Structure 1
Amino acid sequence: MCGRYLFSDGKNPTLLKIKKYYQEKLSLDVFNQISFEEVFPSQKTVVFLMDNENKLHPSIMKWGLTLNKKQVINLRDENKIAMKYKPCIIIASGYYEWQKNTKEKHFFTTNSGMICLAGCYNDDNEFAIITEEANSELSKIHSRTPFTLSKDDFKDYFKRDIVYSNQYKIIDKT
């Protein structure tokens, strides 16, 4: 489930602005260590945290939480392990999923070309994507899907007061 995602497809102005911000702020060597396109587990990329004034700010973290000496890239929402960690949001152009039987690669996004995934992170700046059971349409591809949020959900998510996902807005662009 969600073994890769696309941070930026090069079209979304918000994601391009974030990339440009880091390009100007960081040395070239450090900037080149961050994935701003297709993100694979164990790579560093940008996730978002909320400050005390309810504003999102970017932070660089590695995809994969260390849990019982293993790297975990996804955590099931149902088992509440994610609640032991701090919340973050992964903003991306979309995510990839492989068909259960045929291993065909599918790309999921929204009509806006930007998707917001619920995540959690630890004090070592490692993060995981929170997953849940896929709805009937998405389950034709895979049984699990990332827990998705709308911008209106951000404040509630950081207060840990959200119990539903926005799966109905996700479309397969394959």
Structure 2
Amino acid sequence: MCGRYSLVSELSQLQAEFDFEFSAELTPRYNIAPGQDVLAIGYNNGRRIGSYLRWGLVPFWAKEEKIGYKLINARMESLEEKPSFKHAFQKRRCLIICDGYYEWKKTKSEKQPFRFVMKDRRPFAMAGLFEVWKKADGTKPLATCTIITTEANASTEDIHDRMPVILKQEDYDYWMNPKNSNINELKQLLVPYSAEAMVKYEVSTLVNSPKNEGEELAIPFNSQ
């Protein structure tokens, strides 16, 4: 699964990398957690538009928004069948922007967190789905998202058996465009990312609590 990640790159760098429009402010975050607002990019009439979505998908048919805490990730193997995801998979796909994510390795005494980044330290896009949930009281609709996971690559498998789907740059527009409805072609994009392009390192257990924030969470453990 993917349950925590970071986005500390400057907005100008992200816009140069992903070529999207975004008018809000962006605060560096080292410990993004489920239930919080995250930066996502969607597709609108050929334009890439950035917006904030709450992490934890609330399907349009849900009776209560708290279901979102159970739907922070979506397994790529069951996207077509699971009611929570199948409609969004068909037409509501997005990029969730990140520059490092965390995963935990079980040891005899504790869970040791690791941070996964690109070798060149560039930000990357995780495959996501989004929904807009209309509240019964008629107040502002809630926009939410989930991160799709796939089998672990060679860099990840000794830590966890799953990893987020990281998309290639050339696949961004195809993934986001709601006119693309060939399920088999879409699923071909949801594969483990190249292990050779990634590195991982141990970080402080401070990241274990979503209450903690700051640069020290991303520093290699042996450098602290």
User: TM-score, normalising length from structure 1?
Assistant: 0.79
SS at match of 2:127: strand
Consecutive aligned runs of 4 or more in structure 1 exceeding 3 Å deviation = 9-12, 15-18
- In structure 1, the partner of 2:87 is 84
Matched, 1:107 2:110: no
1:98 to 95, 104, 112: 104
Whose strand proportion is higher, 1 or 2?
A: 1
- In structure 2, the partner of 1:22 is 24
Paired residue type of 1:172: K
- Deviation of the 1:11 alpha carbon: 9.4
Paired residue type of 1:88: C
Distance 1:11 1:62, change over 3 A: closer
- In structure 2, the partner of 1:31 is none
CA distance in structure 1 between the aligned counterparts of 2:15 and 2:33, rounded to whole angstroms: 17
Contact in 2 for aligned 1:65/1:126 (Cα 8 Å): yes
Q: Name the count of aligned residue pairs.
A: 162
Distance 1:16 1:107, change over 3 A: farther
- In structure 2, the partner of 1:167 is 193
Per-residue CA distance 1:54-95 (angstroms, 9 max, x = gap): x31101110001356522100100001434211010011111
Root-mean-square deviation (Å): 2.7
Contact in 2 for aligned 1:36/1:45 (Cα 8 Å): no
SS at match of 1:138: coil
Contact in 2 for aligned 1:7/1:15 (Cα 8 Å): no
- In structure 2, the partner of 1:13 is 13
- Deviation of the 1:21 alpha carbon: 4.2
- Deviation of the 1:147 alpha carbon: 0.7
Structure 1 gap segments, 5+ residues each: 24-33
CA distance in structure 2 between the aligned counterparts of 1:11 and 1:173, rounded to whole angstroms: 25
Contact in 2 for aligned 1:10/1:16 (Cα 8 Å): no
CA distance in structure 2 between the aligned counterparts of 1:107 and 1:12, rounded to whole angstroms: 24
CA distance in structure 2 between the aligned counterparts of 1:12 and 1:166, rounded to whole angstroms: 28
Between structure 1 and structure 2, the one with the greater Rg is 2
Contact in 1 for aligned 2:116/2:201 (Cα 8 Å): yes
CA distance in structure 1 between the aligned counterparts of 2:15 and 2:101, rounded to whole angstroms: 15
> What are the equivalent positions in structure 2 for 1:2-151 lying under 5 Å apart?
2-9=2-9, 13-14=13-14, 21-23=23-25, 36-37=28-29, 38-53=31-46, 55-66=47-58, 70-71=67-68, 72-80=71-79, 81=82, 82-85=85-88, 86-101=92-107, 102-110=110-118, 111-124=120-133, 125-151=143-169
CA distance in structure 1 between the aligned counterparts of 2:100 and 2:16, rounded to whole angstroms: 14
User: TM-score, normalising length from structure 2?
Assistant: 0.63
SS at match of 1:89: strand
CA distance in structure 2 between the aligned counterparts of 1:108 and 1:137, rounded to whole angstroms: 9
Identity %: 25
Distance 1:114 1:173, change over 3 A: farther
